[in-house]
């Protein structure tokens, strides 16, 4: 599969202060679901037709890696993909290391998928991904008999193919959809029943999609189990708009909608939408209008969202709420900076090992805009400000940090310049254009 020319990515954004948010938007397809649709389609019998596919760099890295593994993938249109399934044992050895780019999800899920194959594989990524921890995926897979080597717990991930893994019962020490998914993918090839138990709910896209591909799973409390040896059947997957991408515009509309903003066809999986509840507790006016169930191929709930401007007030976020909003915290902290009173988030250590140390990046950026805050070992305390100053933000190459501070300009008194924004294309191609259409003064330089 050819991904096509990427074009020249912007190095920085300059965002003019103020603005009003209005209109109707549809953000790009869900990244998590697009990754999984490609991977499960690759090992299914028959073809899988994906619509609404996210043509961002992270998902294109997954598609290119699968092509290296012998899977035929066609993209007749930018957001439409046909995966010609290779079947359970049909993947073949890649001639070179598989480059995951910036995609941590891809690297962790591929580790589970490739551990039980008959060939060896090596996973690498960009400079940011090569610093991210992988050992928590390796630990349960090693318990299944997999032979995986990392470098001090970080990539490259060197996998010695080990067919006939053994099933395990694994209790996750920390809720993680990526670790859970890696174990379940390996469990498809293992002898016996693999069971994963979570300490708190995490994203359940993998379980939903496995069911769409014909895999029988058993749910009991916070445990999910599947029997090894089940074969997947190709299917149709309609990917909804990504809630994590919609989040930037949800907060933007809370701050500056005139009179309202509508976001259409948004995936509202309850393991993803914690931000809506947090913002509602802060006083946000967010209306969720569910769409009639169609053939989503993954039983994913979809809705249109209407957001009206609201005065926000600070809140304390409980540790149990963190996993349901983990990717939305950068823009949540912008909402906190524009609220009256204090906001406190604890139990969010996971944010330190994302594409950047997101807690430190947000603390530094908020300080640059005149917002009082305190960086904590596992969280952040923010005192809302009457208004933000302008300034220069180092996004640390993190797409969500860059987009969050673009939203902050709505309450700034001077322009905000955001550095190192090329990785926005990993999850939200065309962000600057979409933001301008909504009313943000974003200029890509």
Report, as residue numbers or ranges, the catalytic residues: 327
Give me the residue label for tokens 């050819």: 2
What is the C-alpha separation between 146 and 142, in angstroms, rounded? Answer: 5
Q: Residue 103: phi, psi to the nearest 5? A: -90, 95
Asked if 27 contacts 266 with a C-beta cutoff of 8 angstroms, the reply is yes
What is the C-alpha separation between 172 and 158, in angstroms, rounded? Answer: 23
Q: Enter the tokens of residue 129.
A: 């991904």
Q: Which of 6, 28, 9, 19 is nearest to 406 (CA)?
A: 19
Asked if 336 contacts 317 with a C-beta cutoff of 8 angstroms, the reply is no
Question: Is residue 335 classed exposed, middle or buried when 0-12, 13-18 and 19+ CB atoms within 10 A define those classes?
Answer: buried
What is the C-alpha separation between 93 and 71, in angstroms, rounded? Answer: 11
What is the C-alpha separation between 337 and 383, in angstroms, rounded? Answer: 6
DSSP run (H or E) holding 254:
helix 243-256
């Amino acid at each position: 599969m050819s991904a096509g020319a990427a074009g020249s990515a912007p190095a920085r954004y300059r965002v003019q202060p103020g603005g009003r948010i209005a209109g109707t938007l549809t953000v790009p397809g869900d990244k998590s679901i697009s990754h999984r649709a490609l991977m499960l389609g690759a090992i299914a019998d028959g073809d899988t037709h994906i619509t609404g596919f996210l043509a961002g760099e992270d998902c294109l890295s997954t598609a290119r890696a699968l092509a290296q593994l012998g899977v035929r993938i066609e993209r007749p249109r930018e957001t439409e993909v046909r995966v010609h399934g290779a079947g359970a044992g049909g993947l073949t050895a890649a001639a070179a290391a598989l480059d995951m780019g910036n995609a941590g999800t891809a690297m962790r899920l591929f580790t589970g998928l490739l551990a039980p194959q008959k060939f060896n594989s090596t996973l690498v990524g960009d400079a940011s991904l090569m610093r991210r921890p992988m050992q928590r995926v390796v630990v349960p897979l090693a318990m299944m008999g997999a032979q995986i080597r990392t470098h001090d717990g970080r990539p490259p991930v060197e996998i010695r193919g080990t067919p006939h893994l053994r099933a395990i019962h694994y209790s996750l020490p920390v809720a993680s959809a990526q670790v859970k998914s890696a174990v379940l993918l390996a469990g498809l090839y293992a002898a016996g029943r693999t069971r994963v138990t979570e300490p708190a709910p995490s994203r359940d896209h993998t379980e939903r999609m496995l069911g769409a591909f014909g895999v029988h799973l058993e749910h009991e409390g916070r445990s999910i189990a599947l029997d090894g040896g089940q074969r997947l059947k190709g299917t149709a997957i309609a990917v909804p708009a990504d809630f994590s991408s919609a989040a930037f515009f949800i907060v933007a509309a809370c701050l500056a909608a005139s009179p309202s903003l509508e976001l259409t066809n948004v995936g509202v999986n309850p393991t993803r939408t914690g931000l809506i509840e947090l913002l509602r507790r802060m006083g946000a006016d967010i209306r969720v209008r569910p769409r009639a169930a169609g053939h989503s191929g993954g039983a994913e709930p979809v809705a249109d969202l209407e957001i009206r401007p609201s005065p926000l007030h600070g809140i304390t976020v409980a540790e149990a709420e963190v996993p349901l909003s983990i990717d939305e915290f950068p823009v949540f902290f912008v909402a906190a900076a524009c609220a009256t009173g204090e906001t406190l988030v604890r139990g969010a250590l996971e944010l330190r090992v994302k594409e950047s140390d997101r807690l430190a990046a947000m603390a530094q950026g908020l300080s640059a805009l005149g917002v009082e805050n305190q960086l904590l070992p596992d969280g952040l305390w923010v005192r809302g400000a009457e208004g933000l100053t302008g300034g220069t933000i180092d996004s640390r190459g993190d797409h969500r940090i860059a987009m969050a501070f673009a939203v902050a300009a709505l309450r700034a008194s001077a322009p905000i310049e955001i550095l190192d924004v090329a990785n926005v294309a990993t999850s939200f191609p065309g962000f600057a254009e979409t933001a301008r259409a909504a009313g943000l003064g974003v200029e890509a330089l």
